[in-house]
Chains A and B, each alone.
Chain A
Amino acid sequence: MASATAWLLKRSSPLLLRTSLLSQAFPTIRNKRCVSSLIDLPETHSLLRKTCRDFAENELTPIAGQLDKEHRFPKEQVKKLGELGLMCVDVPESEGGTGLDYLAYAIAIEEISRGCASTGCIMSVNNSLYLSPILKYGTREQKDKFLKPFLNGDQVGCFALSEPGNGSDAGAASTTAHLESDKWILNGTKAWITNGYESSAAVVCATTDRKLKNKGISAFLVPKPTDGLSLGKKEDKLGIRATSTCYLIFEDCSIPKEYLLGDEGMGFKIAMQTLDAGRIGIAAQGLGIAQASLDCAVDYATKRQSFGSPIAKLQSIQMKIADMEVRLESARLLTWKAAMLKDAGRSYTKEAAMAKLAASETATFNAHSAIQILGGMGYVTDMPAERHYRDARITEIYEGTSEIQRIVIATNVFKESGHSF
C-alpha cells in the first residue's frame, strides 16, 4: 500500500527525484503489475495474494539486493511476516496459527519469493519443514514449547536431515541417538541446515537402531542453544545469501527424553512426509523467482531499443518470453494442483515432486533467459536478473534433487500402472 502512496506523491509533486543515468533510462521495475494473467482464485486467496504481493513489493524488493550483498538475515521483515500470519500459514487457529490451506501457502510463498527468494526460503523452512512435523506428531507439551513461540516471526526453526556423508541417501543417517536414563544423547553432524544460525530450535533425524536401517531413524526436537550442539561456519553460497546455512555438530548433546518426536523408528517416515509438503513450498519459491525473472525481462524488452525499435518486437526475444511464460504457468498449475490434492486429504507425493521439478527447472530457465534478454545489463548487480539466476540454482538441489524427484515420479507412475520396483 505504500507503493500507492509513493505513486501518488510522485504524481502530485513536480520535482523529479535525482537518480543515476542508468536508473533514469531503466527505472526500477518494482511496482509493475505481474504480467501473468490471474485465474479466478477464491476471494480469501485473492486477498491473501494481494497482501503478500503488496508486502513483497514494498518491504522486500527494495532491499533484496542489499540483503544479498550483505548476506544479512532479514530479521525485521521476518517479524513483519509473522505479524501478517505468514510464518504459520497452515497451522490451525486452535493452535494459534493462521488456519489457511496449502493452496494459500503456495500462493503466499510465491509472492514473497518474487520479492526476495531468501525470505521465501526462510518462510518455507519455518512453515513446511519445522512447524509441519511438530504439528502432526508433537505432544501437547512439545507443541507448547516448540510450536507456539515459532508462529509470530519472533523465532524460527530449522530441519536437520542431510549430513556431510548423505543427502539423497537419507536412510543412511550416521548421526546417532542413544538413551541414557532419561536423556537422549546425540552424536554426529548435520549439513546444509538452512536457518542454522538464527533458529531457536531444530527438528533432527538421528539413527536410534542401525540394524533397522530406515526404520531405525527417529526424529528429535532440539532447542538452540544446547550444550553439546555447536554450529559450523556459515556457508558462503552462490545464492539465497540472506539465509544462513551451516553444519549442526552434535557432541554428546543431551536432550530430555520427552523431546523424541513421534515414536522411535518413525523418523524416516516423518522426514519423507515433511519433505513431500516442503516440496510444494520450494516449488512455490521457484515460481516466485521465475515470475520475477520474467517480469524483469518483459519490462526491459519493452524499453530497450535496438535496430530502431524495442527489442520486444524481435522474434528471437518473443520466442524466449513465450517459453518462459508457458513453463511458468505450467509449473504453477502443477504446484496448485499438488497443494489442492493435499488440502483434499488425497495422496499428493507424485504431484508435489512434479511441481518441485517443474518449478525449479523453470526458475533456472527463466533466470537464464532473463539474463540473455537483458544482455550486459543482466550480468551486473544494477539489475536483479543476476540475483535471480543465482537464487534459482539451489531450487533444483535442496529438498530433494531433481534426480530424486524424477525417481519419485517414475516410481509412482509404475505403481499406478500396477508395478512396484
Chain B
Amino acid sequence: MSGLRILVGCKRVIDYAVKIRVKPDKTGVVTDGVKHSMNPFDEIAVEEAVRMKEKKIVSEIVAVSCGPTQCQEVLRTALAMGADRAIHVEVDAATYENLQPLHVAKIIAKIAQEEKVDIVVTGKQAIDDDANQTGQMVAALLNWPQATFASKIEKTDGELKVEREIDGGLETIKVKLPAVFTSDLRLNEPRYATLPNIMKAKKKPLVKKTPTDFGVDVTARQTILKVEEPAVRQAGSKLASAEELVTKLREAGLIPS
C-alpha cells in the first residue's frame, strides 16, 4: 500500500544543551538570544517519516510547525532531513506564550483532514513544557486510533504494528490506518542533514498560514501566574543505622510512632 501521506508536527524549543534561566519578572524563561532547535522527539518523528519514505511505505511527508516566524528554521531542518513540504502556521510571539497543546492539536487535526493524510506523527512530548498531550488530542479530535511512545513501527497490510514503551516494559499493538503515533526516544537516531539535502531544501515549498485559516481560535485559555526556578536541593544527612532512620522518620511525623 504505497502512497501513504504523513504529517509531522515539529516544535521549536530552547535547545536541550542551554542552561535555562527564569526571567527576573517571573513571567517565563529567557528566550531572547537563546539558542533554539527542533524538539528532539520531533526530530525522531521526522526521521521515522523519512525512513518510511525510503522504505516506500510513505510517498509524501508534510512538516508543520505553529509559532512565530523563527519556526521556519525548524521547518527548514525538517525539509533538509527529507520532508517534502512544510506548513508554517504563524502565531505572533505574544499569543505563542499561551499557546496550548489543545490549540495546536486542533490546528494539526484540521491540516490532517485538509491534506488527507494517513498518518500523523509528533514527538511524544516537547522538552519545554513536557505536556505529552498534542498527539493524543489530535487522535481524539480526528477519532483516529493512537499509538503513543512508539519505539518500533512496522507496516503490515493496512495496519501498523507498533511497539510502545510503557511503565511495565514493551507493549505491541496493531493500529488501523489512518492513525496518530508519537515517537519515543528509542524509535531511531535522527540523521544529520547532509549538505546536498540542505541545498535541496531551499527549493522545497514552505507555505505560511494562520490559525484562522483553519478556523481555530487561539485565544489564551489560561494565564501563567508565576514561573520559578526549582528549589535548591538541600543537603541530606548520613545516618548510622536503620534504627536511627526510623527515629528520624518518627520525629518528622512521617511514620506513626
Contact = CB atoms under 8 A, between A and B. Distances in A.
Interface of A: 1-5, 7-9, 12, 31-33, 37, 43-44, 46-48, 50-51, 54-55, 83-86, 89, 93, 98-100, 104
B35 A84 contact: no
A48 B35 CA distance: 16
Contacts of B190: 1
Interface residues of B, number: 28
B131 to A, nearest CB: 16
Nearest to B18: A33
Contacts of A2: 189
Interface in B11-54: 15-18, 33, 35, 37, 40-41, 43
Contacts of A43: 73, 76, 202
B136 interface: no
A372 to B, nearest CB: 26
Contacts of A1: 40, 43, 189-192
Interface stretch (B60-68, B112-120, B151-159, B193-201): B193-201
Which 10 residue pairs are nearest across A and B when measured between Cβ atoms?
A: A85-B195, A4-B40, A1-B190, A98-B195, A84-B194, A47-B198, A51-B192, A85-B196, A51-B193, A7-B16
Interface string B176-196: 000000000100011111111
Nearest to A46: B73
B105 interface: no
A20 to B, nearest CB: 23
Contacts of A50: 37, 77, 193
B139 interface: no
Interface of B: 15-18, 33, 35, 37, 40-41, 43, 73, 76-77, 80, 127, 185, 189-196, 198-199, 201-202
Contact of B185 (A5, A31, A55): A5
A82 to B, nearest CB: 10
Contacts, number: 75
A48 B195 contact: yes
Given A1-B43, A12-B185, A51 B195 contact: yes
Given A31-B17, A44-B202, A47-B80, A55 B192 contact: yes
A7 B190 CA distance: 14
A4 B73 contact: no
Contact of B196 (A33, A54, A98, A104): A98
Contact of A84 (B41, B76, B127, B195): B195
Contacts of A3: 17
A411 B105 CA distance: 65
Contact of A44 (B40, B185, B199): B199
B202 to A, nearest CB: 6
A44 B77 CA distance: 10
A84 B198 CA distance: 10
A100 B199 CA distance: 8
A99 B193 CA distance: 15
A85 B192 CA distance: 11
B201 A47 contact: yes
Nearest to B193: A51
Given A33-B15, A43-B73, A84-B192, A5 B40 contact: yes
Contacts of B37: 50
A50 B16 CA distance: 14
Contacts of B191: 1
Contacts of A55: 192
B199 A99 contact: yes
Contacts of B77: 47, 50
Nearest to A96: B196
Nearest to B196: A85
Nearest to A100: B195
A47 B193 contact: yes
A93 B195 CA distance: 11
Nearest to B200: A93
Most chain A C-beta atoms within 10 Å of own C-beta, residue among B15, B41, B76, B196 = B196
24 contacts: A1-B189, A3-B17, A4-B16, A4-B40, A4-B43, A5-B185, A8-B16, A8-B40, A8-B185, A32-B17, A43-B76, A43-B202, A44-B202, A47-B76, A48-B195, A50-B77, A51-B193, A51-B194, A51-B195, A83-B194, A85-B196, A86-B195, A100-B195, A100-B199
